[in-house]
Amino acid sequence: ECEVSMATSGAEALAFCAQQLPDLILLDVLMPEMSGYEVCDRLKADPRTRSVPVIFVTVQGEPADEAEGFAHGAADYIPKPFVDVVVQARVRTQLALKQASESFARSQIELFQRDKLASVGRTIADIAQELSSPLGNALISACTLQDDLAQMNLLLQSGQVKRQELERHLRVGEESVGLVLSNLQ
């Protein structure tokens, strides 16, 4: 039903997780080199492994030990000796919870993207409506005239105005003013 990989130390477990992200981790508290709590802390500090559920399976079965495990980020805590069917049920439960959480996160992202797309669509529709209205046309014409006058002013200041350029700017200005007036009437 599940593919199981095993590590004999915390360092080995962390190295394995760095190479291949597991779906779930069964972790003993008492291990050589570093405790299971320390391994869990490192897993929860790493963005890649933060969402991997950790179930402590340990001989330390006092309520304070269990609370300590949850304080370090464990999803569940199973004291030894354990019953196989209980461990299997808890593993299935954690995997189902993880899958549901990932599905929910994907749905949230899709919903956000749909809302964003709808917002862009509304903005485009608003702009199209604005552009099709007489006032919108007047606004566009006034903005064009303003840009053209600013460009003409720069040319005048630089002393690079040619008669042909001046005549073109005057024509654009007259057309823009005519459009503004006709749209405002």
Which residues in 106-117 are b (16+ Cβ under 10 Å) and which e?
Answer: eeeeeeeeeeee
Range of the domain at 166: 133-184
Residue 119 lies in a domain: no
Q: Residue 127 has what pLDDT? A: 72
Residues 103 and 18 in one domain: yes
One domain for residues 169 and 89:
no
Number of folded domains in the chain? 2
- Together in a domain, 31 and 95: yes
Residue 139 predicted with pLDDT over 90:
no
Domain limit, last residue, from 56, 75, 108: 108
Within-domain flag for 122: no
* Residue 5 resides in a domain: no
3-state secondary structure the chain: CCCCCCCCCHHHHHHHHHHCCCCCEEECCCCCCCCHHHHHHHHHHCCCCCCCCEEEEECCCCHHHHHHHHHCCCCEEEECCCCHHHHHHHHHHHHHHHHHHHHHHHHHHHHHHHHHHHHHHHHHHHHHHHHHCHHHHHHHHHHHHHHHHHHHHHHHHHCCCCHHHHHHHHHHHHHHHHHHHHHHC
18, two tokens: 């760095």
In a domain, 163, yes or no: yes
The amino acid present at 61, given as its one-letter code, is: G
Q: What is the mean pLDDT of residues 42-60?
A: 94
pLDDT surpassing 70 at residue 131:
no
Tokens describing residue 51: 């969402």
Q: Of 94, 26, 29, 11, nearest to 68 (Cα)?
A: 29
Residue 170 has pLDDT above 70, yes or no: yes
Q: Which residue has the higher pLDDT, 144 or 107?
A: 107
Confidence of residue 153 (pLDDT cuts 50, 70, 90): confident
Whole-prediction pTM = 0.61
CA distance between the termini of the chain: 77
Q: Are 183 and 138 in contact (CB under 8 A)?
A: yes
Residues 141 and 102 occupy one common structural domain = no
Q: Indicate the pLDDT class of residue 183, thresholds 50, 70 and 90.
A: low
Query: Looking at 6-10, 43-47, 64-68, 128-132, which range is the least confident one?
Result: 128-132
Mark whether 102 and 145 lie in a shared domain.
no
- Domain end marker among 108, 124, 156: 108
Nearest by Cα to 59 from 89, 84, 81: 81
Decide if 4 is inside a domain: no
**Residue 79 placed within a domain:** yes
User: Same structural domain for residues 104 and 137?
Assistant: no
Given pLDDT bands bounded at 50, 70 and 90, which one contains residue 125?
Answer: confident
Domain boundary among 74, 108, 142: 108
pLDDT digits over 58-101, tens only? 998 889 999 999 999 999 999 999 999 999 999 999 999 999 99
